Amino acid sequence: MGNTRSSEHAHIDWLAKGPLAPHIDEYMLYLANRDYAANTFSNYLGVVSHFAQWMHRRRLRLQSIDEALVAKFIDQHLPRCHCSGPVQRDRRTLSAALGHLLAVLRARGAIAPATVSSTPADEELRRYDAYMDHVRGLAPKTREMALRIVGRLLISRFGDAAVDIAAIEPEQVRNFFAQQAKLYSKPASAGTVIASLRGYFRYRVSLGDAVQGLIGVLSYPANWQLSSLPKTLTPEEVEQLVNSLGKPGRSLRRTDAIVRCALDLGLRSGEIAHISLDDIDWRAGTITLRHTKGRRDDVLPLPATTGAAIAAYLEQERPKTRNRAVFVRHHTPRGEPVGADLVRKAIRQAFAHAGLPYTRSHLLRHTMANRLLAGGASLKEVADVLRHRSLNTTMIYAKLDSRKLSEVALAWPGSTA
């Protein structure tokens, strides 16, 4: 880790007379509103002070600040820096501090908005993204993955030149897929590349391009559907996990509530992360999901155990914040909504805390489906609770329904049954 300049007074002195002086109070307020720790606060001020000194010596104007200038400061100046006093050299701290500075300056209209790349490939991807969003209704994560793969194809074929779909040859598509497939550990996982490319070529067909031949050269790798059993917790492991909840410790109330949402309601990580205080009707005992994979609102009953865990978190552990998200960050940026990654991390920590050798958060959703089947629920009822669009998606759980399977099982040859 690098260190900061010698004193807070040195920071303020430089900031007060440099090109950033009119905006420093707003920058400090920006950091204060996000509850940054005192040490982080001081480090960020030190970085901005150094940046202001560098700008002053090079006689740079405030309007020249952008990502390129920040990159020049970090990549070119820092390795050869001989500025007076100790300076911060940790790249993550430098990038974070100056990234916040860019946000503050743009919010105040002091510098130009971030530039948007305008190569022909970028413009094509923006049009395709709008199509996936407004016509196909695909989720942001799905669109992001498709754009990444299609973007690689367009850049590898056209670079910065105009995009001419008719110029793409079938053999080029085959070679591109062969290269992309090497990035995946399992052949079946490369199906993502096939789906993304086929989706894009179908979009071009809808525009009148004759690219059906490109779709024809793309075939999915072998992937036998329903060939494996969904992994679930045993009843003993569920009890072990539940008994480990409710213990004192850092952020454990939040972890308890997150685990309950996954285990009792079968919610996905992203759905848990997006729960708002306005989505819970405590009197009616319901919770509304507004950011689901199916992009629709779903109202579910709120089990007493889940509601109690959420209430305990809200009353005893959740930081004071104006944000309406139920689950928020406990560290910088404090009070901001958690993401799906943090939800998955919390569930992994819950498994470890309970002494269970698991890491996948989706395991709790599978477990919830298995418990419903064991309790006598039909596959249609399980599909409704899990909010599957198609019953085919739920069919994988048929293998877990030992009650129904025993009714159709044949006797073992030679047995008396």
pLDDT per residue as tens digits for the range 360-387: 888 998 888 888 877 777 777 777 777 7
Question: Mapped to the 3 state alphabet, what secondary structure does the chain carry?
Answer: CCCCCCCHHHHHHHHHHCCCHHHHHHHHHHHHHCCCCHHHHHHHHHHHHHHHHHHHHCCCCHHHCCHHHHHHHHHHHHHHCCCCCCCCCCHHHHHHHHHHHHHHHHHCCCCCCCCCCCCHHHHHHHHHHHHHHHCCCCCHHHHHHHHHHHHHHHHHHHCCCCCCHHHCCHHHHHHHHHHHHCCCCCHHHHHHHHHHHHHHHHHHHHCCCCCHHHHHCCCCCCCCCCCCCCCCCCHHHHHHHHHHCCCCCCCHHHHHHHHHHHHHHCCCHHHHHCCEHHHEECCCCEEEECCCCCCCCEEEECCHHHHHHHHHHHHHCCCCCCCCECCECCCCCCCCECCHHHHHHHHHHHHHHCCCCCCCCHHHHHHHHHHHHHCCCCHHHHHHHHCCCCHHHHHHHHHHCHHHHHHHCCCCCCCCC
Do residue 370 and residue 259 come from a single domain? yes
Report pLDDT for 253. 94
Is 416 a domain residue?
no
Stretch among 95-109, 199-213, 217-231 having the lowest mean pLDDT: 217-231
Convert the pLDDT of each residue in 254-307 to its tens digit. 999 999 999 999 899 999 999 999 999 999 999 999 877 666 788 999 999 999
**Cβ atoms 289, 300 nearer than 8 A:** yes
Out of 5, 253, 268, 274, the active site residue is 268
pLDDT band at 6 (very low <50, low <70, confident <90, very high): very low
pLDDT band at 394 (very low <50, low <70, confident <90, very high): low
Is 230 a domain residue?
no
Do residue 144 and residue 95 come from a single domain? no
Do residue 268 and residue 189 come from a single domain? no
251 sits in the region (left: phi over 0; alpha: psi -120 to 50; else beta) called left
CATH classification at residue 278 = 1.10.443.10
Do residue 331 and residue 241 come from a single domain? yes
Task: Based on the residue annotation, tell me whether 388 is a catalytic residue of this protein.
Answer: yes
Do residue 97 and residue 128 come from a single domain? no
pLDDT band at 314 (very low <50, low <70, confident <90, very high): very high
Encoded tokens for 24? 């420093």
Last residue of a domain, one of 159, 187, 216: 216
Name the percent of the chain lying above pLDDT 70: 86
Which among 269, 405, 295 is positioned nearest to 348, based on CA atoms? Answer: 269
Out of 157, 329, 344, 388, the active site residue is 388
Domain with 144, as residue range(s), is: 120-216
Task: Based on the residue annotation, tell me whether 30 is a catalytic residue of this protein.
Answer: no
Do residue 176 and residue 241 come from a single domain? no
Do residue 72 and residue 140 come from a single domain? no
Encoded tokens for 129? 């993204």
Report pLDDT for 3. 45
Strand-strand pairing, 286-289 and 298-301:
antiparallel
Task: Based on the residue annotation, tell me whether 353 is a catalytic residue of this protein.
Answer: no
Task: Based on the residue annotation, tell me whether 268 is a catalytic residue of this protein.
Answer: yes
Is residue 351 pLDDT above 90, yes or no? yes
Last residue of a domain, one of 107, 139, 156: 107
Report pLDDT for 406. 53
Global confidence as pTM: 0.67
Is residue 187 pLDDT above 60, yes or no? yes
Domain count, the chain: 3
Is 115 a domain residue?
no
CATH classification at residue 187 = 1.10.150
Do residue 295 and residue 268 come from a single domain? yes
Is 261 a domain residue?
yes
pLDDT band at 414 (very low <50, low <70, confident <90, very high): low
Do residue 178 and residue 103 come from a single domain? no
Out of 36, 203, 313, 397, the active site residue is 397
Last residue of a domain, one of 107, 130, 159: 107
Is 410 a domain residue?
no
Is 395 a domain residue?
yes
The owner of tokens 């079938």 is 170
Is 318 a domain residue?
yes
d(CA 193, CA 378): 35
Out of 157, 260, 318, 365, the active site residue is 365
Out of 77, 293, 334, 353, the active site residue is 293
Do residue 91 and residue 184 come from a single domain? no
Is 207 a domain residue?
yes
Report pLDDT for 33. 83
Report pLDDT for 225. 60
